[in-house]
């Protein structure tokens, strides 16, 4: 009898535990920084009911994965398409979220016509500046007071810290950065305006970015923040590199944020880039080792990796204003298709069924330990 009662009690309590919804990231980090996710149309139109609910429950900031990029919003010289971006912004407003705009000036996902004349030759300086101004005025102006923060220039730097020779740079020179921020500021004087890039944890690139931000700010250019994209691996960058990068940018007096966080658990494909196609067929399974599930040991390593990263982020609460994940669940991550198409990756905190992973628990634990130590 007693045994039955005990087992009944155990059963009820485990049922009760199973029914407890997971804690919310946005609550765990309240007072430290905003917690965001990049959304695709299924999520912000709520066609994907499950993941839309997850977003509303967990995050207080959103970024548009693709719908505000030039090629999406302004596909032809005389045509803007705001259908999806309007729905994205409305979703954020309806749910009282911090709404990010991404991105205004980039060399990727920008149509070729932007840089070319009718004959396909590079446009002159004046034409390109006018196109940039018109684009920024139209897009930022449309969402004035509604998009809180814009990634104004994306990925302007090479790995050695010099400025990348993009069409923007080739036609306009360094001034393109100045102008992009000035046009954005004119269109919405209250919006946060950031420079956003990846691998800023590497010293040479970090120093290039510091030089760039200092030079711009010394000229009075309205750069208010730096976004570290945060496309990380299991080992790179070290927590010390992340720590040093956040400290270095915070010292410049700008807001620092992690804008596109994910942790790639798959073997690096880069070393196989030079392989010929026949070798590639053989190597392909090697590049996709967890197609049938993530081994528990790797799952635990990922959880520890996330705990370490959030340990550094929490150390910098007050300097870091936001940590945004580049996606919601592992199923929707771009890392399933980049740099190799069709892999099975596990870079985020929610699994393919939208369930919290051990990495989620580790991040929540890091937050509660930090608030206990406050
Ligand atoms: C990626 C998107 O996630 C993909 O869907 C798209 O095909 C390519 O771009 N750095 C950025 C993001 O600033 O805009 C990129 O997003 C990922 C790398």
Euclidean distance between CA atoms 101 and 86, whole angstroms: 12
**What is the pLDDT of the chain when averaged over all its residues?**
93
pLDDT of residue 274: 45
Strand positions, DSSP E, the chain? 34-39, 61-64, 98-105, 149-154, 192-197, 225-228, 231-233, 255-264, 320-325
Q: In sequence order, what are the beta bridge partners of 233? A: 264
Residue 343 has pLDDT above 50, yes or no: yes
281 confidence band (pLDDT: 50, 70, 90): low
Euclidean distance between CA atoms 113 and 116, whole angstroms: 5
10 confidence band (pLDDT: 50, 70, 90): low
36, 66, 196, 335: residue to mutate for ligand 1 pocket, most atoms within 8 A of CB: 66
Nearest CA to ligand 1 atom 16: 65
Residue 14 has pLDDT above 80, yes or no: no
Strand positions, DSSP E, 198-319? 225-228, 231-233, 255-264
pLDDT of residue 275: 41
Note the pTM of the prediction, 2 decimals.
Answer: 0.93
Tell me, in angstroms, the distance from the centre of ligand 1 to residue 38's CA. 10
Q: Active-site residue 155, yes or no?
A: yes
53-104 pLDDT per residue, tens: 999 999 999 999 999 999 999 999 999 999 999 999 999 999 999 999 999 9
Of the candidates 78, 74, 84, 99, the one whose C-alpha atom is nearest the C-alpha of residue 151 is: 99
Q: Find out whether the beta carbon of 229 lies less than 6 Å from any atom of ligand 1.
A: yes
373 confidence band (pLDDT: 50, 70, 90): confident
């Amino acid at each position: 009898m007693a045994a039955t009662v005990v087992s009944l009690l155990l059963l009820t309590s485990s049922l009760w535990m199973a029914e407890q919804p997971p804690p919310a990231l946005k609550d765990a980090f309240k007072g430290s920084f905003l917690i965001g996710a990049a959304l695709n149309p299924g999520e912000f139109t709520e066609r994907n009911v499950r993941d839309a609910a997850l977003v509303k429950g967990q995050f207080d900031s959103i970024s548009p994965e693709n719908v505000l990029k030039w090629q999406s919003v302004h596909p032809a010289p005389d045509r803007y398409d705001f259908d999806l971006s309007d729905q994205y912004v409305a979703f954020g407003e309806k749910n009282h979220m911090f709404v990010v705009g991404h991105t205004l000036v980039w060399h990727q996902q920008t149509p070729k016509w932007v840089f070319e004349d009718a004959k396909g030759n590079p446009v002159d300086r004046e034409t390109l500046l006018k196109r940039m101004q018109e684009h920024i005025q139209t897009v930022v102006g449309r969402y004035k007071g509604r998009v809180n923060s814009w990634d104004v220039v994306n990925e302007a730097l090479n790995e050695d810290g010099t400025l990348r020779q993009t069409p923007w740079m080739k036609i306009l020179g360094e001034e393109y950065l100045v102008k992009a921020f000035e046009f954005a500021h004119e269109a919405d004087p209250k919006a946060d305006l950031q420079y956003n890039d990846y691998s800023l944890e590497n010293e040479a690139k970090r120093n290039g970015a510091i030089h760039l931000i200092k030079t711009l700010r010394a000229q009075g250019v309205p750069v208010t923040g730096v976004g570290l994209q945060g496309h990380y691996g299991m080992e790179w960058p070290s927590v010390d590199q992340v720590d040093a990068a956040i400290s270095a940018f915070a010292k410049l007096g700008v807001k620092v944020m992690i804008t596109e966080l994910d942790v790639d658990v798959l073997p690096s494909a880069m070393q196989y880039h030079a392989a010929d196609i026949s070798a590639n067929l053989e190597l392909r399974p090697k590049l996709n080792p967890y197609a049938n599930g993530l081994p528990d040991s790797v799952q635990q390593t990922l959880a520890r990796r996330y705990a370490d990263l959030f340990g550094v982020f929490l150390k910098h609460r007050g300097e870091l204003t936001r940590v945004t994940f580049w996606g919601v669940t592992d199923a929707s991550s771009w890392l399933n298709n980049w740099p190799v198409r069709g892999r099975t990756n596990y870079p985020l905190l929610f699994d393919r069924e939208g369930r919290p992973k051990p990495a989620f628990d580790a991040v929540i634990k890091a937050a509660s330990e930090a608030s206990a130590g406050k």
